[in-house]
Structure 1
Amino acid sequence: MKKKLIAMGLVVVLAISGTQMAGATTLSKAKNQKNQAQSNLNSVNSQIDSIKSQQSALQSQIDQVDSELVQVLVDLDVVAGEIENKKVELAQAEADLETAKAKEAEQYGSMKERIRYMYENGDSSFLDALVGAQNFADVLNKVENFSKVYDYDRNLLVEYQNTKTEVANLVAQVEEEKQELEENQATYQEQQQQLETLKAEKSSQMDNFGSKLAEAQSLAAQYKQTIDQQNAIIAQELAAAQTVRVTAGASSVANNSSAASSNKKNNTTSSNSGSASTGSGSGSAVVNYACQFVGNPYVWGGTSLTNGADCSGFIMSVYAHFGVSLPHSSSAMRGVGREVSVSDMQPGDIVCYSGHVAIYMGGGQIVHASSPSTGIKISGNVHYKTILTVRRIF
């Protein structure tokens, strides 16, 4: 019988070992793929940050170009108005010049009529002087030599000449100012074209950054998806490994219990065989029953083995299944049953820590309602916290 138990245990160990090796390979591969995806994601996120930074800087440049372009357009509008005003001024000056010329001609004609009158009255020397004059200035010089010409005519003629000269100068000035404004207008138009070209280039760069950003964000989403997939595989493998450990622990407990029962049967009389089922045998049943609820949630103050329990609620409900009433308090459980030494722990014993309790499975393992994040689980180190006392119920 003892040899059969050893053989069965060896088969279980070999099967579990093979499963664990396969699971470890899958788990390792999933972790490697996750780490690679995380590294890629970090790199892409850095690229995204860089692209966004460049986009921000480029947008500032575009805003600056827009500001300069607006100012150039305002200047163009102003200079266009000034050119139109100069055109009006020039037209008026040219009209005034024509008026001055006409008045000058009119005065010159009146003067000649008076000279003719003087000639008809016998003053031929003045007419000869006029006929012999080379130009208009010469006429004036000749006129000044003749005292019989009225000072009124001379002064009026000079005044018209001066007016014509002033108006001609004004026409030239306005024409020059208009030309200068048109040159300014051409400069502003050139600046406008340059700024619009620059804005178009920067807008194209912004579109390029947008495409790069979209591509990087798409890659980031793919890497995130890979990470999520590998996390799911890792969680699945960890859960499978935990199930394997539960199976291994339960098998070990069962084998130990069967071996102990077999030894007792060989060494006691048939009249004592009924009492041999107590002790570790009952503790093993407690362990096997408790392990059914591994993976269920931790709920503070809870006592449900399926919907959630805290550490003392979990043990209370497990033992209640065997007709044992225990307090719903980790500190109160330090006084239940009888105390045994840590070195004498057996499956089913209640291990009491500071603020926490667990059921000993054997082989250094415990099953307990651990925490809200991990729920009811199996832990591989009974000594993970300082043990205050060990209580045995059966």
Structure 2
Amino acid sequence: MGMSGNRGCRRRAVLIAAALVLAVQAPVPGRASPVTKAEKEKRRAEEEKSRAESEAEQLEQKLGESRQKEQDLEDELVRLLALKDILESDMEELKAQIHQAGLDYRQAEEQRRTQYGILKKRIQFLYEEGDITYLDILLKAKSIGDVVSQTEYFRQLYEYDRQIIERYERLKKEAAGKKELLEEKQSQLEVMEEENESQQKELEGFIREREKESSGFALELEAARTRAARAAGEVRRKTEEIRILRARQEEERARQERIRQEHIRQEQERIRQEQGSIGQGPGGANQEPPVLGPGQEPGSSGKPAESTGGTEFGRNVADYALQFVGNPYIYGGTSLTNGTDCSGFTQSVYRHFGVSIPRTSGEQAGFGREVPYEDMEPGDLVCYSGHVAMYIGGGRIVHASSRKEGIKVSNDPAYRTIVSIRRPWQ
């Protein structure tokens, strides 16, 4: 075969070796290589890890939502219990005021009757003595002014009788005022009792639902009562601080008024001395300005003053509310003219300005921005347990108070325990 035969053998050997190498490297059908299998397992592990992490996050979120829901329910229970505590405390305070007002009225009425007896005896004596002229004057007089503005002789001769009549009239007016105050407080108590009954129903309904949902509710309720008692105590403490602050402010206002009146008196005295006259008639320099009651303006005939301070929007809201003073109170009503309750009043006033606020006083106590007492402005809502009023400035509020009083202006925002002060438009 020679050289050509040897070359042919070597070529075949190379081809066979190359075929063997390719056979070794080529993948076997139905059998994955170690590298591809590892990659798939890695990807599968990563997918399972991602899925597990997602499920864990969802579970954690659900647990968080569940805890938040439970916390919200516990907080709501504490809120309802605290409001009930505060309202019952306010009712006890009002009952004490009613008791004292009753004692004051009975005492004033007894003094009036005693003075009336003295007056009757004096008239009887005059009749029996035959002083018919004087008796006729007494009986025909339309007012005390008719009696005391007779001749100087009459004034000097019957000064004692004038004092008897004036004292009787004063005691009669005092007794009537104390009776009015007593009736107002009794009417306020009636409304508070309705508010208390409504709160009781809401609380009982909430407790029934919680008992169905929570097996350990008895312990939760006990803990909530403890928290509520602390919360109610803190609210009462803050209100007491407000009352102390108001008392100081009233003292300062009274001091400033005394200074003002003294300046007026001194100026009048100076004018009298310059004019060389004493005791000018009506319109003279010695005529003192009329004494105005709280919430009154000169020439207002006792009508409430307009709101003062704060923002223009808040004053507009308060001034609009003041238009309805004197209109009736109706429990559950929302009509500013035909009858409304406290929260219906504030809701209807704000609706006029395009501001939507909740219906009940409890809901309004959590609506809008809370502001401290020192920053209170006209239009702000002063929220109590079961009641709500609107601040109008100058230490006054307007509110639908009771069936007897209707919508009225009051001079003490802290006449009940203040739960919160809210600014609905912020």
| TM-score, reference length from structure 2 | 0.32
Judging by fraction of residues, say which structure has more helix.
1
Give the greater-gyration-radius structure (CA).
Answer: 1
Question: Which of the pair has the greater relative contact order for Cα pairs under 8 Å at 6+ separation?
Answer: 1
